[in-house]
Chains A and B, each alone.
Chain A
């Protein structure tokens, strides 16, 4: 299938091999020895991973571990100090525009131009991605309706809650039907219904062959949604495993393994101190 110039191909990747929830055999996103330095600070140290069509990969790590840096490198907002990224054979360093065209991104903070209406914002993103006018208009209208933003869609987003802004960002990430969806804490601020919708949506998107790279702090979401998990600590990958290989409970659960892998301190004494403090007050 040939894609239109600005638009990701309808189903160029995945195809029959990736249908019905199966994971494609050959990796389509490859991160090789990614390194990022900010001045003297080494934020990311030779991080490598791969994503195959139909995979949802959870990216876990404590604050400051380099998760957001990795996300910014993967979506092409930052250039790595060393290492390489390629998506569907396109190397980010060689053709960053074609590389970024295949990605949909939901940032951690709901950073969007709040003085626009949701409709204006989606139209802006669609036009920047060179979507045909008629398709864009129909898709924006439908996405606003499906994300339950239609009633507010023609009002400036300055009055939107965090959850509403998050829904606009998810809609804008899906607008051009991307091959790779990069989500940074996508459930943040979403209410129960919107969270369930997004979870189901991501499952269906993956079953159709899209790749989903999902940075989060939430173990429950990783367990329910992801096929594989990568754990980062101090800028290095310290664990990479299939989610099915973790126990539900016990010492080999995802949470316990994460605590061990990232060498988290025992929080019980700290929690007790807090309780003692407020009880004393």
Chain B
């Protein structure tokens, strides 16, 4: 039985779902163990959540039924959203393996296997994978779900309520999983074959970014009882709310029928698209054969680029290498998009919490909205810049770095540093400002322009500071994590964060609407950043590039003796 081809193939596909494409065999094994371990952590986290909510439900069970019913909707939205997030995240991470691909076509079609066996095994492995995550997250949240049922006896049968929640939550998780499958299915079927890899990378990046950004929104769901009670405008746009509607509709609440209908339509739709994608691909398996991108004729802009590149070919080579790696390496794309989005999520949470969005703006007073708006990009940049530095430090296929070792030259070292700083500036400064600048403009009007320019200068200063000792080509140097004394690093990082964000927020607040102050601050910050940049430009050609990470050579003595 275990050796039947379909079972063997299903097992192979299932195992390969845990190999994100960058792991060795040992790494994939260790990832599997880590995932099983994380299930235990999830259960512990579920118990912790139940403890956090315990007091609230003890009070609600003693209070009026209406209060309980109102709070229940928001908490169930949270209970439904958490598994949705985990399941969608897991499926998004294995987006490259959701459908039989070119490698499967080349290798498996040459074996005595029917196409049906291959597709059935792939689908079975996917269902097993999704089922594993759905089961894991639901088991972890079982204590909290049980806690929310404490007062259900007042509104009806506990068993009926539990069944309704289970059906809704499982449907929601299925929807989340198959929404990702459907997106990839449409991509496989309709994206031009020569651009499939590029499109797939972009979709994966967008999904990871959206998921990371949605985390703070999910965390806020338990506080949305009033929104549910008043049928807030955003409920029909929020998938967890659809499935809360489904739950209520199953319990006989006709007021939520519209939300329930949305849940049903969305689930059926993504299932249809997913199944149809499988069926269409089954009929046209040759579609997975990628086609080479044609070497397009190069226009005038490209020739100008070449002329410009001719002066700094190494810089261009490094920028292109980094950009392709970020697009195609799941690990690096996940790290960079995930870390930027996590910083964005932190800032978004603060922006959503602040009052004053609907009030007239007082630019002279101490409006919390203005302070938060000025604080937001500085925080996002401060968190994103070191995170991007970290992501660029994580190596990719170290055995292949010989090509960089062999081609290193003195002028190239400066070009490498310049290219890397430019990348960090783009991702760590330009992206946060592109996201938050329009919000600042919307709230502050034209007076936001000089402020955004100042923020860019502060960002440049942080980049030059953080990258001052960068002496490597991104992704090519071995990496030893936790080289420093971790508590010391955290304390230092947190203190720097407080000083930087509070200090810059105050400076920006003082500069708002005062052009002379803006000019003075811009001059000071610009000169400081320029000095660091000049120092780096002079210093880097003298230092060979690093390809092997080193432990710190300076010893920090404990100084236990009296002398």
Name A's B-contacting residues (CB within 8 A). Answer: 6, 75-77, 97, 100-101, 103, 105, 107, 109, 111-117, 119-120, 123-134, 137, 141, 151-156, 159, 172
Contacts and interface: CB of A to CB of B under 8 A. Distances in A.
Nearest to A133: B306
7 contacts: A6-B313, A107-B402, A112-B400, A127-B309, A128-B317, A133-B310, A154-B294
Given A113-B397, A115-B329, A133-B309, A128 B292 contact: no
Given A115-B325, A133-B310, A134-B306, A124 B406 contact: no
Closest 5 CB pairs of A and B: A127-B317, A128-B407, A127-B313, A133-B306, A154-B292
Contacts of B309: 127, 133
Contacts of B328: 115, 156
Interface stretch (B126-134, B207-215, B408-416): B408-416
A159 B103 CA distance: 7
Contacts of B397: 111, 113-114
A113 B400 contact: yes
A124 B315 CA distance: 10
A129 B293 CA distance: 25
Contacts of A115: 324-325, 328-329, 396
A124 B408 contact: no
B404 to A, nearest CB: 7
A175 to B, nearest CB: 11
A100 B406 contact: yes
A122 B403 CA distance: 11
Contacts of B324: 115-116, 120
B357 interface: no
Interface in B328-373: 328-329
B320 interface: yes
A105 B406 contact: yes
Contacts of B307: 133
B403 A128 contact: yes
Question: Which of B313, B320, B325, B404 has the most C-beta atoms of chain A within 10 angstroms of its own C-beta?
Answer: B313
A97 B409 contact: yes
Nearest to A96: B408
B406 A77 contact: yes
Nearest to A113: B400
Contacts of B102: 159
Nearest to A136: B313
A124 B194 contact: no
A154 B317 contact: no
B325 to A, nearest CB: 6
A231 B406 CA distance: 26
Contacts of B410: 97
A126 B314 CA distance: 9
B402 A131 contact: no
Nearest to B294: A154
A73 to B, nearest CB: 13
A127 B328 CA distance: 21
B321 interface: yes
Given A111-B399, A123-B320, A155-B293, 16 more contacts: A6-B313, A76-B405, A77-B402, A109-B399, A111-B402, A113-B325, A127-B317, A130-B412, A132-B310, A137-B306, A152-B292, A154-B194, A154-B293, A154-B295, A155-B292, A159-B106
A113 B293 CA distance: 19
Given A125-B407, A127-B316, A156 B412 contact: no
Q: Looking at B293, B316, B317, B404, which has the most chain A CB atoms within 10 Å of its CB?
A: B317
A127 B318 CA distance: 9
Nearest to A118: B292
Contact of B412 (A109, A128, A141): A128
A116 B294 CA distance: 15
Contacts of A127: 309, 313-314, 316-317, 320
A129 B407 contact: yes
B197 A156 contact: yes
Given A76-B406, A113-B400, A131 B292 contact: no
B551 interface: no
A182 to B, nearest CB: 10
Nearest to A152: B292
B223 interface: no
Contacts of B314: 127-128, 130
A77 B402 CA distance: 7
B290 interface: yes
Contacts of A120: 320, 324
Contacts of A100: 406-408
Nearest to A151: B292
Nearest to B106: A159
Interface string B427-462: 000000000000000000000000000000000000
Nearest to B307: A133
Nearest to B102: A159
A82 B103 CA distance: 47
A101 B295 contact: no
A6 B399 contact: no
Contacts of A130: 313-314, 409, 412
Nearest to B330: A115
A117 B405 CA distance: 20
Contacts of A97: 408-410
A131 B314 CA distance: 10
A151 B292 CA distance: 6
B320 A124 contact: yes
Nearest to B292: A154
A238 B512 CA distance: 79
Query: Most B CB atoms within 10 A — which of A6, A75, A105, A151?
Result: A6
B186 to A, nearest CB: 21
A141 B295 contact: yes
A101 B412 CA distance: 13
Contacts of A117: 293
A123 B329 CA distance: 19
A124 B321 contact: yes
A125 B404 CA distance: 8
